[in-house]
C-alpha cells in the first residue's frame, strides 16, 4: 500500500509529524507537503511559476519525505504524477491545527489536499483537530490510524472524507458520528488598521457565529463527538435544477 500524506500547515507542523508516525506502519508512506504554511489556500494550483521539490527527512517511519514550494493540491498532483513510483492507494491530509467544518471546507487547504486525491481517483481523507492551542495530537493520531486502517480494509472508492476531532482527552470523547456538512459564518470579518508608516491595511479573519443546525459536523464536534463527513465534488443544487428546468428560456 502506498499512502501519500500532505497538509496545509507545512512540512514542519506537529500535526503532520504525528500523522506520519501513526500510520507509517500501514504501508509505504510518502510525505509530500508544502514547504511553508498554506492555510485557507483552498484548491489553488501553481501554474505561472516553477514548483520546487526538496528531499526532507522526518525520520518517523516514512519511505520518503519531500517539501514543495506550492499548495496542498500541488503536492498531491506531483505525488501522483511524478514523485511516487507506482499507484497511490490513499491520500491523507492533516492533521490540521483548527477545525475544518461547515463552509470552511471551501477555503481549506487541508480539505483541498484530500479533494485533489479524490479527483485523481484515489480515496482520500482530510483530518483536523478542532482547536488552536493545548493541542492533543495523541488522540487525533490514534483515531487517524484506526480510520485509515478501516478505509484501506474496506477498499472505499469514489469518496473522500472530512474528519474533525474534538481536542479532548480520549476518555472525554463521546464517540463517532457520521454527519453532513453544516454551515459556518463569521462576524467582524475585516479589521482595518494602520501600519507603522501610516498606510491603511485590512486583515481578514473574524469571529465564528455559532450555528444551531442539527446533525452537522459543527454540532457533533461541539458535543464532544468525532465528526466524519463523506464528501464529493458535485456541487449541483438538485432541487434548484429540478425547478429551473421548468423555465421557458429560448436563445437565440
Confidence of residue 181 (pLDDT cuts 50, 70, 90): very high
Confidence of residue 158 (pLDDT cuts 50, 70, 90): confident
Model pTM score = 0.94
Number of domains in the chain: 1
What does the alpha-carbon distance between residue 89 and residue 139 come to, in Å, rounded to a whole number? 25
- Whether residue 250 lies inside any domain: the answer is no
pLDDT digits 0-9 by tens, 39-98: 999 999 999 999 999 999 999 999 999 999 999 999 999 999 999 999 999 999 999 999
Confidence of residue 33 (pLDDT cuts 50, 70, 90): very high
Region 153-175: mean pLDDT is 95
- Whether residue 107 lies inside any domain: the answer is yes
Confidence of residue 209 (pLDDT cuts 50, 70, 90): confident
Which of 104, 93, 226, 107 has its CA nearest to residue 160? 93
Residue 156: per-residue pLDDT: 86
Q: What is the dihedral of CA 41, 149, 59, 109, to 10 degrees?
A: 0
pLDDT digits 0-9 by tens, 82-139: 999 999 999 999 999 999 999 999 999 999 999 999 999 999 999 999 999 999 999 9
Confidence of residue 166 (pLDDT cuts 50, 70, 90): very high
- Whether residue 202 lies inside any domain: the answer is no
Region 140-162: mean pLDDT is 95
b (16+ CB within 10 A) / e for 9-28: bbbebebbbbbbbbbbebbb
Q: What is the CATH number of the domain that holds 143?
A: 3.40.1210.10
Q: How far is CA 131 from the centre of its chain?
A: 14
Confidence of residue 212 (pLDDT cuts 50, 70, 90): confident
- Whether residue 191 lies inside any domain: the answer is no
Q: Domain of 13?
A: 2-182+212-235
Confidence of residue 211 (pLDDT cuts 50, 70, 90): confident
Per the CB < 8 A criterion, the answer to whether 23 and 148 are in contact is yes
Mean pLDDT rounded to a whole number for the chain: 96
Residue 157: per-residue pLDDT: 84
What does the alpha-carbon distance between residue 116 and residue 229 come to, in Å, rounded to a whole number? 17
Region 25-32: mean pLDDT is 97
Confidence of residue 199 (pLDDT cuts 50, 70, 90): very high
Confidence of residue 210 (pLDDT cuts 50, 70, 90): confident
- Whether residue 142 lies inside any domain: the answer is yes
- Whether residue 6 lies inside any domain: the answer is yes
- Whether residue 132 lies inside any domain: the answer is yes
What does the alpha-carbon distance between residue 183 and residue 38 come to, in Å, rounded to a whole number? 23
Confidence of residue 184 (pLDDT cuts 50, 70, 90): confident
- Whether residue 247 lies inside any domain: the answer is no
Amino acid at each position: 500500500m502506498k499512502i501519500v500524506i500532505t497538509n496545509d500547515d507545512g512540512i514542519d507542523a506537529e500535526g503532520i509529524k504525528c500523522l506520519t508516525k501513526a500510520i507509517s506502519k500501514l504501508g509505504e508512506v510518502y510525505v509530500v507537503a508544502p514547504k511553508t504554511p498554506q492555510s485557507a489556500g483552498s484548491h489553488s494550483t501553481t501554474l505561472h511559476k516553477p514548483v520546487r521539490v526538496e528531499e526532507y527527512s522526518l525520520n518517523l517511519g516514512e519511505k520518503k519525505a519531500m517539501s514543495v514550494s506550492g499548495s496542498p493540491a500541488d503536492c498531491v498532483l506531483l505525488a501522483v504524477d511524478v514523485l511516487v513510483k507506482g499507484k497511490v492507494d490513499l491520500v491523507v491530509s492533516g492533521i490540521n491545527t483548527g477545525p475544518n467544518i461547515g463552509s470552511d471546507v471551501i477555503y481549506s487547504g487541508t480539505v483541498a489536499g484530500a479533494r485533489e486525491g479524490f479527483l485523481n481517483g484515489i480515496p482520500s481523507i482530510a483530518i483536523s483537530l478542532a482547536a488552536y492551542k493545548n493541542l492533543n495530537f495523541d488522540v487525533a493520531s490514534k483515531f487517524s490510524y484506526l480510520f485509515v486502517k478501516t478505509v484501506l480494509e474496506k477498499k472505499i472508492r469514489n469518496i473522500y472524507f472530512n474528519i474533525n476531532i474534538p481536542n479532548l482527552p480520549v476518555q472525554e470523547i463521546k464517540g463517532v458520528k457520521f454527519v453532513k456538512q453544516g454551515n459556518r459564518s463569521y462576524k467582524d470579518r475585516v479589521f482595518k488598521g494602520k501600519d507603522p508608516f501610516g498606510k491603511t491595511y485590512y486583515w481578514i479573519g473574524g469571529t465564528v457565529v455559532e450555528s444551531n443546525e442539527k446533525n452537522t459536523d459543527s454540532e457533533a464536534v461541539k458535543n464532544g463527538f468525532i465528526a466524519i463527513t463523506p464528501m464529493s465534488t458535485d456541487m449541483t443544487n438538485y432541487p434548484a435544477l429540478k425547478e429551473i428546468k421548468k423555465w421557458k428560456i429560448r436563445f437565440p
